[in-house]
Structure 1
Amino acid sequence: MDHANLTRPLQSMIDQMVLSDATIPGIIMEVDAPRINFKFSGASGVVDFESGAALSCQHPVRLASNTKTYVSAAILRLWEDGKLDLDASISTYLPDDHVQIMRSGGYDPDAITVRHLLTHTSGLFDYSDCEAFESLVAPGTYCWTRTEQLQGTVDWGKPYGAPGEVYRYTDTGYIELGEILERLTGKPSYGAAIRDLVGFDRLGLRQTWLEDFDPHPADTLPRAHQYLNGVSNYNHDASEDLHGGGGLVATMADLAAFHRAVFTGGVFKNPSTVETMLSTIVAQKGGPVAYGREQKPGEYRMGIFVFDIDGLTDYQHGGYFGTEAAYFPELDITIALTVNRTDSDAGAKLINQAIGVFRNL
């Protein structure tokens, strides 16, 4: 097979996307298709609008909610090792002060399980998707604690429903999963727990780290800028999207390698653990629109969405700042990309376009 016939359309589609949308600073795409011995690494555009410096495939970015897949995988590794029960009440694992904050907001932490947190069926209000939080983080200078964000869950909104009743995506559940990782492993951060449980060194993930906790890896470029409403978040304090809902930084090559490893035997000890990850609690109804997305019960599993793209199964997750990672099991193809801006469907469009290149091979 002439791999140039694959490389050309992939590079062309990211070039055209950047040219056609002036709000996108740049795009990085990584494609891994081992069945046909093909890999693609492509970049187009600039690191930031201000300098106009060329973007490269080696530039890392904030992964935002793509971090949730890492958190879920680490939690499931603890479950494999018998150190955690997915159906245990979260009050079993969380500190008393956080349990009391939840109770003060009308939640019952004894009825919410780890499985509820993983599948966004806990009923916990999403502190990060409300006007109060958005206005407070706009300056980007405040250093948030997990406790403050949990308190915001209580102060800024009401429960979406009883545990298991409503599916509604919520960062709140994942910051508490981050806390569970720290408490059960004794590590100084959930990033350190993820690194060990997932096996970053074994997988060769040398350009993935937890911002504010880990040093910037040697021989790694500075982060590319990511934009919200035309403004770079480069200097925003990382804590506004930290603690478990987000926080990791990585290159697209590392993101693709991790995402593929999750579904191909590189992370879990037992092959059946992937089946557990792909299971869910099918809630009775969907909650309010989240980040512009209708909430469809059953589409979110444990740290991963499951979509159907024209007959192909797609295990996918995105991040608020423009990242996407997808694995197509029927084709054994992984795609990771970033468009480096929020509120854009460009990433999802590129996933669909890119997989189309491989459909008829």
Structure 2
Amino acid sequence: MKAMSKETAKIQFDRYFAKLERKKAAKSIQVLVQSDKLDFQYGYSSGEWNVPFHIASIGKVFTASLMMMLTEREGVLLQDPLLKYFTGSELEGLFVVKGKDHAKDVTLEQLLAHTSGIGDYFEDSVQIGAPMTKLIISEPDKNWMPSELIDFTRERQQAVGVPGQVFHYSDTGYILLGLLIEKVTGKPFHQNLHELIFQPLGMNDSYLLYYSVPSNPQKAIQDIWLNGSKVTANQSLSADWAGGGIISTPKDLLAFYKGFNAGALFSKEKIRIMENGRHKFRRGIYYGTGMMEIHFEEFFFLLRGLPRVKGHIGILSTHMFYDPTTDTYIIMNFGSSEQMTQSFKALIEIVTRLKRIE
């Protein structure tokens, strides 16, 4: 593979993302690539730079991080049973498989790793009514409370398997974790985010949508498109909460991930637990305990040799990844659920060219 200079890489990245915009292959793009090891920094934006955007399920890394902090500060154990923190009635109907209630068997780690068997209010099919993704579009003024999200799964969906025996990605599980964080700390979820993560790491443009405001003056966010509909101003986006309701910027996410890797939030041992991708999410994507690992070679055999980046994606084609081989952080937002394939092509483009920088 032919080596290239840093300046050549930047020029080629500019051409690549500009071409996507000309072809209307993306509605709006923000990209940040930064590596101390390579002495390389690159940024691209369709408009103004460092605009706040909805990070979607990248927010699960933040919820998982708060949980890891509780294990070191509050005596919470990952193997604790969920029933240690919730009553039986609060969990009623959420973990029933073939008529048997498995709530007593669920651990905190299983919720974090999506192996509890609980349904997913956000993307699973429903037995009655409309699915959540359609409701977010059709009922834009609806303010979803966390308890309503749990009830959505309880009343309209079913558990998919016995705890510990199946991987099933679940936003409902992360809503339970958000509620648990509130129970343990005695503080609202958004207050924990600000006090334990945003403020210590200098994330002054970050906040939880419809629950808090940033330290800096609040700015308009990048447009959000869900299944072809513009939902930027929808109150119904309150359905994300602890599953991914954070608004942030490329620079703030870079500050987060650098602080995370440096051990500013909790021990390196806990970081390794989060990163350990033991469960196959789908082809090429493996899940640990709140984080993903990408195996590019499973997408296409010619991608064999690309590094296994770690981080998370979100349904709005948001990316936050770290390449340990080049010490590179990659933050991207395409702002639309319909741009996931294109955003992964962009990730491959970035990682491939980074390997060639001399």
- TM-score normalized by the length of structure 1: 0.86
The question of whether the paired residues in 2 share the 8 Å contact of 1:98 and 1:147 is answered with: no
Decide which of 17, 22, 45 is 1:14's aligned counterpart. Answer: 17
Decide which of 276, 279, 282 is 1:279's aligned counterpart. Answer: 276
Larger mean CA deviation between 325-334 and 200-209 belongs to 200-209
> Which amino acid counterpart does residue 253 of structure 2 have in structure 1?
L
Residues 111-168 of structure 1, C-alpha deviations (whole Å, 9 max, x = no match): 1100000000010011111353233322222111222211221222221110011111
Question: Compared with structure 1, are the counterparts of its residues 299 and 66 closer, same or farther at alpha carbon in structure 2 (3 Å cutoff)?
Answer: same
CA distance in 2, matches of 1:191, 1:240: 12
The question of whether the paired residues in 2 share the 8 Å contact of 1:90 and 1:113 is answered with: yes
CA distance in 1, matches of 2:263, 2:338: 33
Secondary structure of the residue that 1:122 maps to in structure 2? coil
Secondary structure of the residue that 2:242 maps to in structure 1? coil
After superposing on structure 2, the runs of 4+ consecutive aligned residues of structure 1 that deviate more than 6 Å are none
**2:98 is the counterpart of 1:99:** no
The question of whether the paired residues in 2 share the 8 Å contact of 1:279 and 1:302 is answered with: yes
The question of whether the paired residues in 2 share the 8 Å contact of 1:101 and 1:150 is answered with: no
Counterpart in 1 of 2:327?
332
CA distance in 2, matches of 1:87, 1:201: 29
Map 1:267-346 onto structure 2 (within 5 A). Answer: 267-268=265-266, 270-279=267-276, 282=279, 294=282, 299-309=286-296, 310-311=304-305, 312-344=307-339, 345-346=341-342
CA distance in 1, matches of 2:74, 2:147: 28
Map 1:56-67 onto structure 2 (within 5 A). Answer: 56-67=48-59
CA distance in 2, matches of 1:75, 1:229: 31
Counterpart in 2 of 1:192?
191
> Which amino acid counterpart does residue 337 of structure 2 have in structure 1?
T
User: Which ranges in structure 1 are unaligned for 5 or more consecutive residues?
Assistant: 45-54, 287-292
Secondary structure of the residue that 1:71 maps to in structure 2? helix
Residues 283-309 of structure 1, C-alpha deviations (whole Å, 9 max, x = no match): xxx7xxxxxx7478x911011111223
> Which amino acid counterpart does residue 10 of structure 2 have in structure 1?
T
Larger mean CA deviation between 250-259 and 163-172 belongs to 250-259
The question of whether the paired residues in 2 share the 8 Å contact of 1:137 and 1:240 is answered with: no
**2:255 is the counterpart of 1:257:** yes
- TM-score normalized by the length of structure 2: 0.87
The question of whether the paired residues in 1 share the 8 Å contact of 2:94 and 2:158 is answered with: no
> Which amino acid counterpart does residue 63 of structure 1 have in structure 2?
I
CA distance in 1, matches of 2:237, 2:226: 17
Question: Compared with structure 1, are the counterparts of its residues 92 and 326 closer, same or farther at alpha carbon in structure 2 (3 Å cutoff)?
Answer: same
Q: CA deviation at 1:275?
A: 1.5
Residues 238-285 of structure 1, C-alpha deviations (whole Å, 9 max, x = no match): 5543331111000112122212332333332x2222122123665xxx
> Which amino acid counterpart does residue 322 of structure 1 have in structure 2?
S
Residues 207-234 of structure 1, C-alpha deviations (whole Å, 9 max, x = no match): 1111111124434431011112432111
Aligned length, in residue pairs: 337
Q: CA deviation at 1:31?
A: 0.8
The question of whether the paired residues in 1 share the 8 Å contact of 2:96 and 2:158 is answered with: no
Question: Compared with structure 1, are the counterparts of its residues 7 and 233 closer, same or farther at alpha carbon in structure 2 (3 Å cutoff)?
Answer: same
**Same amino acid, percent of matched pairs:** 22
Counterpart in 1 of 2:141?
141
Residues 77-101 of structure 1, C-alpha deviations (whole Å, 9 max, x = no match): 1112242110011111125542235
Question: Compared with structure 1, are the counterparts of its residues 151 and 220 closer, same or farther at alpha carbon in structure 2 (3 Å cutoff)?
Answer: closer
**2:131 is the counterpart of 1:132:** yes
| C-alpha RMSD of matched pairs (Å) | 2.3
